[in-house]
Chains A and B, each alone.
Chain A
Amino acid sequence: AQRVTQPEKLLSVFKGAPVELKCNYSYSGSPELFWYVQYSRQRLQLLLRHISRESIKGFTADLNKGETSFHLKKPFAQEEDSAMYYCALRTGANNLFFGTGTRLTVIP
């Protein structure tokens, strides 16, 4: 069965500090991983997909199949990064399986 683990429910960092949101997964198939973000009073939206290997709003995430991880990183956190972040795994049924989320707070 699939599993997505986000070990930190809450994460606080100071503005300008590096931030890393952890995500580990368990899946027997070939994984496709995503990061979704939910800003205050906004809809849940896609931030990153691993297959694109892109940087969005300064965030990057690398799929590490050996460690079964897909950690989200940003070298210098900004106040506007404060939000709820969800790691998600696409399963063979073309559905998304979400982690429990990490609430990031960037302290000015």
Chain B
Amino acid sequence: DGGITQSPKYLFRKEGQNVTLSCEQNLNHDAMYWYRQDPGQGLRLIYYSQIVNDFQKGDIAEGYSVSREKKESFPLTVTSAQKNPTAFYLCASMASGTRSYNEQFFGPGTRLTVL
């Protein structure tokens, strides 16, 4: 199914390397989000973007960077400064407008493993 796609599904990297996770959406949503999902910790917000060319830090932004050059795309870079990068990463998007009825739509996720 389409909507939001994330690639790759699995990603391996060596310590000290930066890696970029892709997130694309064709829902014409203004807002996009990156979460990290760890067992027993739920989802934690890394970065979010409410509009093109603008983004804000979430609760656990250290060691991560993002860009939002196009409405459809919100790539996440996991840098070597991230102390514990092995995790499952989820991207989401949401329409702007009437807030109360907006829901976030999630991608299938990328599992990153640092070797």
- A residues contacting B by CB (< 8 A) are 6, 9, 32, 34, 43-46, 49, 51-52, 86, 90, 93-101
Contacts and interface: CB of A to CB of B under 8 A. Distances in A.
Contacts, number: 50
Given A43-B107, A45-B106, A95-B48, A51 B43 contact: no
21 contacts: A6-B42, A9-B40, A43-B106, A44-B90, A44-B106, A45-B105, A49-B100, A49-B103, A90-B99, A93-B48, A93-B56, A94-B50, A94-B99, A95-B45, A95-B58, A96-B33, A96-B43, A97-B45, A98-B44, A100-B40, A100-B42
B41 interface: yes
Nearest to B6: A43
Interface residues of B, number: 26
Contacts of B107: 43
Nearest to B33: A95
Interface string B21-50: 000000000010101000011111100101
A9 to B, nearest CB: 6
Contacts of B106: 43-45
A88 to B, nearest CB: 8
Contacts of B40: 9, 100
Nearest to A6: B42
B103 A43 contact: no
A12 B90 CA distance: 27
Q: Which 10 A-B pairs have the closest CB atoms?
A: A100-B42, A98-B43, A44-B106, A46-B103, A98-B42, A43-B106, A51-B100, A101-B42, A99-B42, A43-B108
A49 B113 CA distance: 34
A105 to B, nearest CB: 16
A34 B94 CA distance: 14
